Amino acid sequence: MTKPRIRVPSRALTADGFVNFQARLGYGAGNQFSQSTYHNNFISRNRILLEAMYRTSWIIGQAVDVVAEDMTRAGVDIKGVDDAEKIDRLQAGMRDLGVWRSLEETVKWARLYGGCIAVMLIDGQKPATRLRPETIAPGQFKGLMVLDRWMIQPSVVNMIEEYGPEMGQPESYDILPNPWLPLSGERVHHTRIVRLEGVRLPYQQRIAENGWGQSVAERIYDQLVAYDSTSQGAAQLVYKAHLRTYSIEKLRELIAIGGKPFEAVLKQVDLIRSMQSNEGLTLLDSTDKFETHAYSFSGLSDVLLQFGQQLSGALQIPLVRLFGQSPAGLNSTGESDLRTYYDGVTQKQESTLRIPLGRVLDVAYRSILGEDPPENFSFEFESLWQLSDKEKAEVAEITTRTVLSAQEAGLVSDKTALNELRQSADVTGIWSGISDEEIKAADELPPDPSEMMPDAEAADLRSGDKDKVEPVGVGPEPEG
């Protein structure tokens, strides 16, 4: 039995974009645009070039340093620790050990080279073993040692197989022999490091880079060359800003003759150059001709600004932060640009620093304070956006009024109100003087609602005669 044939409706071929072969418009129509393509420029593998760019180009310096400094300069807000003195000791210990400075360098060299690690230095423990935080004794944590991707060799055989955000990363790292390094030739377990990458790459490219990312300079290389070339070209034009021409009759013949006639021409030119000034005279032969040509620089500033904006957009750093340039335009203050940029920095902190920094804080807490951290121990990155004194005062006024209204209405106790006011000091700087003793001495229960009523209504409520007390917000029933 033969199967019935299914008729498939014919389909017209469609193109992905507009193409006009007669006019040679569109991609694939035999025009110059069709010959455009992209090629890899693996400058992340050229350490010498990256270091030369960082040392000589201030833009690359800003691209690497600005984000790293902003990701670490504000620190963190410790949560889950009731004792403020312990928080101060932990924060001071982190500063004394240079943890934030080391983290800043780790972010810098990760952005420059495409990868970097920071090794936790724990006295008395072998770096090749898995970190066990419960074994940290007081004073064992000595800070972080920063190693960029060219100073270490990640394991390419043993990878992390445990489920989690680090799965697939190297299980250990070998520090290459170097007489300048204290741990030269040692192996470090992945639980003892802070690992950061520059620009994260797709899987195949990550394998080609030995598991690392790429430098932030690789994507902007062509735009950086265009900006620097334009800047240097504009600087060279300064020497040609004032052009002068001197026409001498039969000059070619005088040059050919040479001797005293030609020497006389040169002497006359030197005489003009030495005596020509704002008040001097230019002596010429009646048949000679002297002209000046002014050079115009119009348009160069617009070109430089466009290249600068492209660099700013590629790095996601606003002009006011990258170039220190005031924003232009009507009513433009740059606040919106900075807020957007700070949101991007916060996103980078959460995606790259949250997990490793939590591990470092756990170790630092045990070493500095000599005890295990509480179960709800956590942290939040401090906001980079700082309120003005006027804004702080306005926020403090609104917060205080809200808390007092809730307390007077009997919704919260005095203790809760004092806690809320002191917590608002992190933003406003006001009410930070409320002590723990004052909070402990405050009432833990909200006030009796009858105390907030007039005396007559309160007496009726206490006597149980509720019919005489009208519910709040409810009036008498309408007649009929």
Cα-based distances in Å from 175 to 45, 172, 194, 454: 19, 10, 15, 77
Q: Would you state the structure tokens that stand for residue 93, as one six-digit string?
A: 């210990």
Structure confidence by residue, pLDDT tens digits, 191-221: 999 999 989 999 999 999 999 999 999 999 9
Confidence of residue 445 (pLDDT cuts 50, 70, 90): low
Q: Would residue 337 count as lying in a domain?
A: no
Beta strand pairing status for 152-154 and 172-175? antiparallel
The Cα–Cα gap between 49 and 409 comes to 68
Q: What is the mean pLDDT of residues 332-345?
A: 79
The parent domain of residue 246 ranges over: 242-294
Strand partners, 20: 25
Is residue 69 domain-shared with residue 203, that is, in the same domain? yes
Q: Would residue 235 count as lying in a domain?
A: no
What helix, strand, coil percent values describe the chain, rounded to 5?
50, 10, 40
Q: Would residue 332 count as lying in a domain?
A: no
Is residue 408 domain-shared with residue 444, that is, in the same domain? yes
Structure confidence by residue, pLDDT tens digits, 357-375: 999 999 999 999 999 999 8
**In the predicted model, is pLDDT for residue 9 greater than 60?**
no
User: Residue 109, class by beta-carbon neighbours within 10 Å (0-12 exposed, 13-18 middle, 19+ buried)?
Assistant: buried
Structure confidence by residue, pLDDT tens digits, 296-328: 767 777 888 888 888 888 888 888 888 877 655
Is residue 168 domain-shared with residue 128, that is, in the same domain? yes
**In the predicted model, is pLDDT for residue 472 greater than 50?**
no
Q: Would residue 477 count as lying in a domain?
A: no
**In the predicted model, is pLDDT for residue 470 greater than 80?**
no
Pick the last residue of a domain from 182, 216, 250: 216
Is residue 151 domain-shared with residue 91, that is, in the same domain? yes
Q: Would residue 9 count as lying in a domain?
A: no
Torsion, Cα 117 118 123 125, to 10 degrees, reads -30
Q: Would residue 108 count as lying in a domain?
A: yes
Strand partners, 293: 243
Structure confidence by residue, pLDDT tens digits, 85-116: 999 999 999 999 999 999 999 999 999 999 99
**In the predicted model, is pLDDT for residue 81 greater than 60?**
yes
pLDDT for the residue 453: 55
Q: Would residue 382 count as lying in a domain?
A: no
Pick the last residue of a domain from 294, 326, 355: 294
Q: Would residue 359 count as lying in a domain?
A: no
Among left, alpha and beta (phi > 0; psi -120 to 50; other), residue 139 is left
Is residue 87 domain-shared with residue 187, that is, in the same domain? yes
